[in-house]
Amino acid sequence: MWVWAGSFSAGRCRRSLKLLTGVLCLAALPHPLAARVFMKQEEALSRAFPPPARVERKTLFLDQGRAAKIERESRERLPGRIVTYYVGIGKEGTLGYAYFDSHRVRTLPETIMVLVTPKGTVSRVSILSFSEPEDYLPREAWLDQFAGRGLDSDLAMRRGIHNLTGASLSAVAITSACRRILAIHRVVREEER
């Protein structure tokens, strides 16, 4: 009979077993960088503009002057000068516009869809993915306050938009995205004329 008489003591074996158990427990937890995806882009567009409406993808290339104008009007920085948006078209014409915005909330990303009416006001805000802890996730009732809002001084925290207790960074990020999108939409409407 062979007996291993190596340097592994019983105490060392228990410590290794505890370490292995800890690693396995951590591996079972959801990864902090894994976003919670509520809806994919295609599904969001289908819900926004249900059939028989059709959706057209458009791209807007902003020159430096238009980008500066958008930043000035929105009081928000643009992440880039190429903007992709979607137009919902029905039998009677344009139903609305869908813009997707990915931004950082605290340290992790969130993606939202902002639907804009043909008149240039927010129709609805939907959260597509959210990577922060769920405590910071805005509820649907809070998102509803954006409906009917245009780009004006009331589209701001503690003015027309109520703060979110315990999730103020989420509230600021979504409000900033809406301001940026509505300023971009003004340029889109100028292009369509």
Whether 33 has a pLDDT exceeding 80, the answer reads no
What three-state secondary structure class fits 65? Answer: helix
41 — phi, psi (to 5°)? -60, -45
Q: What is the pTM of this model?
A: 0.80
Amino acid code (one letter) for 4: W
165: pLDDT confidence band, cut at 50, 70 and 90?
Answer: confident
Q: To which residue do tokens 């405590």 refer? A: 135
Q: What is the C-alpha to C-alpha distance for residues 151 and 6, in angstroms, rounded to an integer? A: 73
Q: To which residue do tokens 């805005």 refer? A: 138
> Which residue intervals of the chain are DSSP H helices?
10-28, 41-48, 64-74, 140-143, 168-192
How open is the CA angle 165-168-170, to the nearest 5 degrees? 120
Say what the pLDDT of residue 4 is: 47
- Mean pLDDT over 75-95 rounds to 95
31: pLDDT confidence band, cut at 50, 70 and 90?
Answer: very low
Average pLDDT over the chain reads 86
Q: What is the C-alpha to C-alpha distance for residues 86 and 57, in angstroms, rounded to an integer? A: 5
Q: What is the C-alpha to C-alpha distance for residues 123 and 90, in angstroms, rounded to an integer? A: 16
Q: What is the C-alpha to C-alpha distance for residues 186 and 82, in angstroms, rounded to an integer? A: 15
Please state, in angstroms and as integers, the Cα–Cα distance from residue 145 to each residue in 55, 140, 165, following that order.
26, 9, 15
Whether 121 has a pLDDT exceeding 80, the answer reads yes
